[in-house]
């Protein structure tokens, strides 16, 4: 039986409140429950690059996240709820999926982001008794899956995940599938997530002090039922149009570069990934509204991607670095990524492909220069410059941050009849450039159980500015605005 999202959230929050009572909390050595309060202000201008009315966001949101954690012997459990209210549809969550921005047009409104909603972010049970090593745990439930570069996994999803973390060897293995968003506003899954199973594993070995080499793999099996168009019946953006099987295999090497605590003079990272698979895609109706001869089209996919970078420590406070990433025309990421990491060397996680543009590893190459600064445990800042190009000038790219459209207007009245995604200019590879600034002030340290390191990766109080200004390149044509920006001010306090 499928529960109403309100019921789902209510069950989870009731569980969290019951668990936080003194009787159950006494199972742990400490009083492990609390409340994270996050206030976010967002200013955004021209996500559509001036191609449509609107495209601006200006508002403030309050995000309350009660959490509770308990241990008993080798067993542990964790739950975090969420209640959001805001003056506009803003992003209080850096893990928010790209299609949760309220731009979805559906016939039933089952996937439309609201200003106010309740949610369950995480609820899992863990067992750490499979091996005698303290860094080992098996978790079952909705949990935060994350790897260091954020390009493979950084998402809250239902999973069975095993983690092994020791001085010389780190490994992860698991399966995951999204069954619900557990939000009162998003009652349906995005089409790409319906019936899509993820299986993954990775391992890294410290072959010499501070230097790691690793291998990682990921496979998605998508056998969801496809929704075929019917003549005379309006389609819905939640119709599933593609499924298939795709596999990724990658090699990595780094100097623990994503660990902001390391004091290396030179840090480096590098990865190379191959991808192969096959997909089935639903064919659209013919121009006259009749069914196509073939209901779907099969396609074999093969692609590769790489990301390399180096960071130099000038003194205990200042670092500078450069990075380069490239993904072939047919390469795509697995759908669990956030592309956020500590690659600039600070505690603040920064989007690898622009806070405004938010590029994806898909038919894109990126050159990046950055500088960063840290003062004790009180301040950090990163200034980043990106230049973006297409690899194949005749194919599209993926970007979470841009939603430019092409309008079909009435010749007489000028009214907009329909809008479709703006096609990039054929042959032009220049996507644009961006400057990002991320500055954080930390107030105090908070001590949390080690098992929560994946779920809560910030200190107990901070104020952070995250912003980017993007200047579109020739690939977007001459009719778009010259700049767009996206900026956030986050205030976080944990009780």
What pLDDT is attached to residue 234?
78
3-state secondary structure of 111: strand
Place of tokens 């369950």: 120
What is each CA distance from 430 to 174, 370, 387, 389, 393, in whole angstroms?
39, 20, 9, 5, 9
Candidates 3.90.1300.10, 2.40.160.100, 1.20.1250.20, 3.40.250.10; CATH matching 30-232+239-494? 2.40.160.100
- pLDDT tens string, the chain, 495 residues long: the values are 444 443 344 444 444 433 433 333 333 445 588 999 999 999 998 888 877 776 688 999 999 999 999 999 999 999 999 999 999 999 998 887 654 443 444 555 788 889 999 999 999 999 999 999 988 999 999 999 999 999 999 999 999 999 999 999 999 999 999 999 999 999 999 999 999 999 999 999 999 999 999 999 999 999 989 988 888 787 788 899 999 999 999 999 999 999 999 999 999 999 999 999 999 999 988 888 888 888 899 999 999 999 999 999 999 999 999 999 999 999 999 999 999 999 999 999 999 999 999 999 999 999 999 999 999 888 999 999 999 999 999 998 987 788 887 766 555 555 555 557 788 889 899 999 999 999 999 987 655 566 665 666 666 789 999 999 999 999 998 888 889 999 999 999 988
What pLDDT is attached to residue 317?
95
Angstrom distance (rounded) from CA 418 to CA 471: 26
What is each CA distance from 454 to 133, 143, 428, in whole angstroms?
18, 9, 41
CA triple 119-123-128, angle to 5 deg:
160
What pLDDT is attached to residue 235?
78
Q: Where are the domains of the chain?
A: 30-232+239-494
Place of tokens 């130099």: 312
Query: What are the residues facing 463 on neighbouring strands?
Result: 441, 491
Angstrom distance (rounded) from CA 156 to CA 338: 11
pTM for the structure as a whole? 0.88
Angstrom distance (rounded) from CA 284 to CA 149: 37
For the chain, the residue count is: 495
What pLDDT is attached to residue 399?
79
3-state secondary structure of 63: strand
Angstrom distance (rounded) from CA 297 to CA 310: 42
Tokens linked to 75? 């067993």
What pLDDT is attached to residue 376?
86
Angstrom distance (rounded) from CA 253 to CA 269: 6
What pLDDT is attached to residue 7?
38
275 Cβ contact partners less than 8 Å away, ≥ 6 residues apart = 246, 247, 248, 301, 302, 303, 304, 305, 330, 331, 332
What pLDDT is attached to residue 94?
87
For 387-405, b/e burial (b = at least 16 CB within 10 A) is: ebbbbebeeebbbbbbbbb
What pLDDT is attached to residue 414?
53
What pLDDT is attached to residue 413?
57
Q: Is 135 exposed, middle or buried (0-12, 13-18, 19+ CB in 10 A)?
A: middle
**Residue pair 353/308 in contact by the 8 Å Cβ criterion:** no
CA triple 252-253-255, angle to 5 deg:
140
What pLDDT is attached to residue 465?
97
Residue 289 exposure: Cα atoms within 13 Å on the Cβ side? 4
End-to-end distance of the chain based on CA atoms, in angstroms?
Answer: 37
Helix (H) or strand (E) holding 141: strand 136-146
Residue 53 exposure: Cα atoms within 13 Å on the Cβ side? 3
Angstrom distance (rounded) from CA 178 to CA 208: 38
Query: What are the residues facing 68 on neighbouring strands?
Result: 33, 79
Q: How many CB atoms lie within 10 A of CB 277?
A: 20
423 Cβ contact partners less than 8 Å away, ≥ 6 residues apart = 396, 406
What is each CA distance from 125 to 137, 201, 244, in whole angstroms?
10, 20, 31
450 Cβ contact partners less than 8 Å away, ≥ 6 residues apart = none
């Amino acid at each position: 039986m499928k529960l109403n999202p309100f019921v789902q959230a209510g069950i989870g929050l009731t569980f969290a409140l019951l668990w936080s009572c003194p009787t159950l909390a006494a199972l742990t050595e400490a009083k492990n429950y609390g409340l994270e309060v996050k206030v976010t202000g967002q200013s955004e201008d021209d996500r559509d690059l001036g191609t449509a009315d609107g495209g601006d966001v200006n508002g403030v949101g309050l995000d309350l996240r009660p959490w509770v954690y308990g241990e008993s012997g080798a067993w542990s459990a964790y739950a975090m709820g969420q209640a959001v209210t805001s003056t506009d549809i803003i992003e209080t969550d850096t893990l928010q999926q790209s299609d949760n921005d309220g731009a979805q047009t559906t016939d039933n409104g089952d996937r439309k982001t609201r200003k106010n909603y309740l949610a369950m972010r995480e609820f899992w049970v863990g067992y750490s008794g499979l091996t005698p090593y303290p860094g080992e745990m098996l978790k079952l439930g909705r949990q935060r899956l994350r790897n260091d570069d954020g390009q493979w996994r950084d998402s809250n999803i239902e999973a069975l995940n095993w983690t092994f973390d020791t001085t010389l060897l780190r490994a992860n293995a698991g399966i995951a599938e999204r069954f619900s968003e557990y939000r009162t506003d998003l009652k349906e899954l995005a089409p790409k997530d319906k019936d899509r199973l993820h299986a993954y594993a990775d391992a890294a070995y410290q072959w010499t002090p501070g230097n790691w080499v690793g291998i990682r793999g990921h496979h998605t099996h998508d056998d969801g039922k496809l929704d075929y168009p019917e003549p005379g019946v309006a389609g819905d953006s939640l119709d599933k149009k593609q499924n298939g099987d795709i596999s990724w295999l990658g090699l990595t090497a780094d100097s623990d570069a994503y660990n902001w605590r390391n004091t290396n003079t030179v840090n480096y990272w590098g990865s190379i990934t191959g991808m192969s698979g096959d997909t089935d895609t639903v064919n659209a109706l013919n121009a006259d509204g009749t069914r196509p001869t073939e209901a779907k089209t099969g396609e074999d996919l093969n692609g590769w991607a790489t990301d390399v970078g180096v960071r130099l420590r000038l003194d205990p406070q200042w670092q500078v670095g450069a990075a380069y990433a490239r993904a072939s025309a047919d390469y795509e990421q697995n759908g669990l990524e956030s592309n956020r990491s500590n690659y600039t060397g600070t505690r603040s996680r920064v989007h690898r492909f622009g806070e405004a543009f938010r590029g994806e590893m898909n038919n894109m190459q990126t050159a990046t220069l950055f500088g960063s600064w840290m003062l004790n445990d009180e301040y950090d800042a990163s200034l980043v410059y990106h230049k973006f190009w297409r690899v194949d000038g005749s194919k599209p790219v993926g970007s979470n941050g841009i939603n430019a459209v092409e309008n079909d207007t009435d010749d007489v009245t000028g009214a907009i009849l329909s809008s479709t995604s703006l096609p990039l200019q054929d042959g032009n590879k220049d996507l644009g450039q961006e400057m990002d600034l991320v500055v954080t002030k930390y107030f105090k340290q908070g001590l949390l159980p080690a098992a929560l390191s994946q779920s809560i990766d910030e200190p107990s109080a901070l104020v952070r500015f995250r912003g980017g200004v993007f200047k579109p390149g020739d690939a977007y044509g001459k009719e778009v605005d010259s700049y767009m920006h996206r900026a956030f001010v986050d205030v976080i306090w944990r009780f």
